[in-house]
Structure 1
Amino acid sequence: MREHAGPHTLPALLAARVARHGAAPLISDGTTTWSAADALDIAARRAGALAAHGVERGDRVALMCTNRIEFIEIVLGCAWLGAVVVPINTASRGLQLEHILRNSGARLLVTEAHLASAVYALAAPDLALESIWLIGGEQESGAFPGACRTMPMPPAGEPLEAAELADGDPLAILYTSGTSGPSKGVICPHAQFYWWGEHTASHLGVVAGDVLYTCLPLFHTNAVNSFFQALIRDAELVVGRRFSASGFFNALIASRATITFVLGAMVPILLGRPVSPNERAHRVRIALAPGVPERFQADFTARCGIALLDGYGSTETNFAIGGTIDAQRPGYMGRVANGFDARVVDASDRPVPDGTAGELVLRADEPFAFATGYFGMPEKTVEAWRNLWFHTGDRVVREADGYFRFVDRLKDAIRRRGENISSFEVEQVLLSHPSIETAAVFAVQSALAEDEVMAAVVLKPGEALEPLELIRFCEPRLPYFAVPRYLEFAPDLPKTENGKIQKYKLREAGVTASTWDLETSGYRLERA
């Protein structure tokens, strides 16, 4: 049994890693490699630069950056200083981006130069932003409204002593898509990331000397978790720029990876490619692969030699349901992990019998192993953590032998290509079009085992609107993955007696002969 004596803060974990294996490589983005000793020095000096520019303990620092070493540098600097990093999906645009910046109250935004135009496009001079630091390039044309200063990211400063932090102090605020409202900022304490790393590493069997490879975006929990696995298990993390089906196995070979990470849709995409010798020329023994449909798992392992480990966790929780590969059962997430409690409950929070579908609720034994709430949204925090259990919004079944099976989502959310999409946020963009009277956004089934975004739209009397015109309207206002693939123009939408749109009827109808399909239109969305 591993020792778990605290503190479990990032500066303490980094110092402990340096004491064990300071010179061994800790993280690489393919061009730059840091040992643990390098990372500790960079954390202290980046904290110095942040402090020199007015960032104080508890301040939020927004971060809009692709998979490059500067992302980790800002995370380490914030953690060392006691500031809170706010990673933002690089595809965020318009209302969603403005909401995140406004809700978090970030005083500083660190962004790659080529992403700055999305920020400049916001007509929101009343945001708390005081400074914007640009990574990797000159300032593009444009400027943020108001007195906000824009400058290249300054060099590292004089090193600071690490802040005195507790396990429950926030390390990050991660925004996860809202289901009946705007995106919620999940307050993730230092210890939550430690327990994420510890439980995931235990399930995967991470040992000293392993090389972890991820091409998943660093602004999501999954990839940040992989950094903590490497940190606490004396392994190395190699970060790829992005997922490429044609280059995935080459990246595994080049990185010398022994463990990797995939999402549900990636596996059928890889299986859809022609067989290549590189699929067996790597050293990877196992991949964390949540949400991969059962029908693909055996074929992928047989073809590529990589075991796929399923499980359940969320931004608010931890790796609460899972197990090691020898306990894997296809089609199931696993059993509740040590250190957690799980129940399946009805609408009144009463446990339902085994074999009966209900909502999954969770809680943790260890202090601060879960998020501590939603930033600036106390009513949403109380709702989600009511009765001292975190309510996941996911509908599951627990079998008599303790294995959990995912059924569907209770929440009105859409998951496409590994991204959570708020139907509310997409609807708000559609409703801002002057020709649209009402709209409903919902998920329809995808051939890749995840969701596609469909919108049913009712136009105002006398208005006309071409589908591509609406897509072009959405494109600068939404992340590319949230732009609807399917559009259905209808004279009206099904409603309850109280006027609420009955989305279940729209889902049941799904794609019809009259539905417009973006993928067959010949138009291609631009991706950040």
Structure 2
Amino acid sequence: MTAITFKSRVPRQSRCAATRPEPRNLAEDDMTEVKVVRREGAIALDRMAMAPPLGTLIDLLANQADNFSDREFLRFAEGSWTFGEVDEWTSRLAHRLIAEDGVRTGDRAAIMLPNVVQWPIAWLSILKAGGVAVPVNSSYQHADLEFVLRDSGAHLIFTDAAHTTLVDEVRAANADLAHIRIVEVRSSDELAQYPAARPQVAISGDTLANLQYTSGTTGFPKACMLTHDYWIRLGWVCAGAADLGPDDVVLTSQPFSYMDPQWNTSLCLTIGAPLVVLPRFSASGFMADVRRHRATFCYVLGSMPTLLFKQPPSPQDCNNDLRLVLCSAIPVALHAQLEQRWGAPWREIFGMTESGVDLVSLPENTADIGSGRLGLPVPTKEVRVVDPQGRDVAEGESGELITSGRPMMLGYWNRPGDTAQVLRDGWLHTGDIALREADSYRLVGRIKDMVRRGGENIASAEVERVLERDDSVVAAAVVGVPDELFGEEVKAYLQLFPGVAEDRATALRIITQARNQLARFKVPRYVEFVADFPRTPSERVSKPVLKARSADQPGITYDLKPPRIAGNGN
């Protein structure tokens, strides 16, 4: 382990025109303050479609360790480690797994740890031993953990003292899980009796690397079978699209059990740059960490951009080294303000656990700012928008987004029926509703996240985006609730900023504002204020949990049905 040090640097001149931008009225020429600097990264744009020269994560680590042994690779709260140190540590632990734990090619090994360095060390060690990693959310309780261990067939689990009692209880309560071994990630010094050289285990790009469980918003999660090739190509394509190189610093704050820190690891192995891993996401401290670690690139998603923007502005906002922020679901109304406030381009990237990366908006695509566009397919993918019969829809019409190419999962573990449903004739059916435009794509909503009111289908995401434009709203979630007349009515759960009254007047004001932006039938009839939202590991609202919580402990709900207009059944 090496101590964390930061080179001194003279603070640069602010890139922002103002510390506190006007909420939604930036002049067009204000955006010229946000500089888009294209340079030659580790992967040139014209090479993105090519196959990466190395086929496994283990090969990438070995290559960086051979050529840049002393270059920083992993930076956690507890310290910093170089490529050489990580390569040696993971080799010794892999030998231990083979010798003491009997890990053989294809054996599954679970990882249930918070954001500590032992997480990626365990992951890479499992892969070096020829095993398959099974990431487990460290916030799981009995039922979730029991399900994942049984479904994956894991032989052992890496965990810590904080979770050992839970694992022991699950093993004791289930005879078929009693054989699972608990393994502690010992330091490299404590593994000195094992060789520092990589174990002689046959691993290729086609070798299974992960059983990556989805967030499970519609019931128990499914495990995506992800190969080394999946991770290699994901890191390769993202490095090219984001124009990243060895002088960059990548920062992540999502749980390591989710795929984002893992593809960030592959990215850093590809470009030879350090990965900074925060213990957790904190809206109040995130940008301070970006400045402290001098991060040049990060990825955020879900509610994170809105929560960041609604933090009190600071004169320090623009004093950062960010060159690019990639995001899934940039709030359209805040896009220009996000760029202006922090002085760096924010661009959309679209993908799923099943497909890795499909669409991206490049930094120079300034026309995408505030448009909701997802950009164009990456060079290794084809994307279509189709109707329920699988026929391509016309430009400007909505349909399901489907994608083909690499990276791509092999399928769902132990679920051939589910695999056949989403992977058809070489195309992954995403379940997302999109519009195809002349030079981009735009998401409309999710097939399974719709409110069906009378004869109208309402995309929850569209209504949520409108509600979140209100300055008093932290986040919104829209669902359908039973209605005798229309089948379903629109209900909005709203989380407000501290100090905003959770009364009927506030609800009415927010909904009245929404009426000016939405078709009448899309406007929520019901509003329930909540203190927070249950979320998946990917920071998306878990609506099944939200609805169950509301049914069990209902909050005050306001019925804001507008006066009926003669001749209008809506």
Q: TM-score, normalised by structure 1?
A: 0.75
Task: Give the secondary structure class of the aligned counterpart of 1:39.
Answer: helix
Note if 1:484 corresponds to 2:532: no
Alignment partner, residue 194 of structure 2: 158
Alignment partner, residue 10 of structure 1: 57
Alignment partner, residue 243 of structure 1: 281
Structure 2: state its 5+ residue gaps.
1-45, 452-459, 483-529, 561-570
Note if 1:25 corresponds to 2:72: yes
TM-aligned CA deviation for residue 133 of structure 1 = 2.6
Alignment of 1:187-202 (within 5 A): 187-202=225-240
CA distance in 2, matches of 1:283, 1:192: 30
Change (3 A) 1:228 1:156: farther
Q: In 1, are the aligned partners of 2:52 and 2:236 still within 8 Å (CA)? A: no
Deviations 1:134-177 (A, max 9, x none): 569xxxxxxxxxxxxxxxx9847513424221111111111003
Alignment partner, residue 93 of structure 2: 46
Structure 1 stretch displaced more, 199-208 or 272-281 = 272-281
Alignment of 1:104-123 (within 5 A): 104-122=152-170, 123=173
Q: In 2, are the aligned partners of 1:291 and 1:310 still within 8 Å (CA)? A: yes
Alignment partner, residue 402 of structure 2: 361
Out of 150, 173, 180, the position equivalent to 1:130 is 180
Alignment partner, residue 435 of structure 2: 397
| Residue identity in the other structure for 2:73 | L
Change (3 A) 1:300 1:185: same
| Residue identity in the other structure for 2:92 | R
Percent sequence identity over matched residues?
Answer: 29
Alignment partner, residue 406 of structure 1: 443
TM-aligned CA deviation for residue 271 of structure 1 = 1.6
CA distance in 1, matches of 2:206, 2:251: 29
Deviations 1:331-361 (A, max 9, x none): 1111112111111111121211111111111
TM-aligned CA deviation for residue 292 of structure 1 = 1.4
Alignment of 1:241-320 (within 5 A): 241-320=279-358
CA distance in 2, matches of 1:327, 1:479: 26
Out of 377, 386, 390, the position equivalent to 1:345 is 386
TM-aligned CA deviation for residue 71 of structure 1 = 0.2
CA distance in 1, matches of 2:312, 2:213: 37
Alignment partner, residue 360 of structure 2: 322
Alignment partner, residue 117 of structure 2: 69
Task: Give the secondary structure class of the aligned counterpart of 1:484.
Answer: helix
Alignment of 1:439-450 (within 5 A): 445=464, 447-448=473-474
Alignment partner, residue 269 of structure 2: 231
Note if 1:94 corresponds to 2:142: yes
CA distance in 1, matches of 2:551, 2:328: 35
Larger radius of gyration: 2
Change (3 A) 1:450 1:488: closer
CA distance in 1, matches of 2:166, 2:559: 34
Q: TM-score, normalised by structure 2?
A: 0.70
Structure 1: state its 5+ residue gaps.
137-152, 415-441, 457-470, 491-509, 516-528
| Residue identity in the other structure for 1:334 | G
TM-aligned CA deviation for residue 272 of structure 1 = 1.3
Task: Give the secondary structure class of the aligned counterpart of 2:384.
Answer: strand
TM-aligned CA deviation for residue 412 of structure 1 = 5.3
Task: Give the secondary structure class of the aligned counterpart of 1:26.
Answer: strand
CA distance in 2, matches of 1:24, 1:219: 25
| Residue identity in the other structure for 1:410 | I
Out of 59, 65, 81, the position equivalent to 1:34 is 81
Q: In 1, are the aligned partners of 2:302 and 2:538 still within 8 Å (CA)? A: no
TM-aligned CA deviation for residue 371 of structure 1 = 0.8
| Residue identity in the other structure for 2:159 | T
Root mean square deviation, CA, Å: 3.2
| Residue identity in the other structure for 1:87 | P
| Residue identity in the other structure for 2:124 | L
Change (3 A) 1:313 1:250: same
Change (3 A) 1:156 1:192: farther
CA distance in 2, matches of 1:186, 1:453: 27
Alignment partner, residue 511 of structure 2: none
Deviations 1:23-68 (A, max 9, x none): 2111111322221111211121110121122222111111111111
| Residue identity in the other structure for 1:348 | Q
Change (3 A) 1:77 1:397: same
Task: Give the secondary structure class of the aligned counterpart of 1:331.
Answer: coil
Change (3 A) 1:109 1:60: same
| Residue identity in the other structure for 1:383 | Q
Structure 1 stretch displaced more, 66-75 or 326-335 = 326-335
Out of 60, 75, 96, the position equivalent to 2:108 is 60
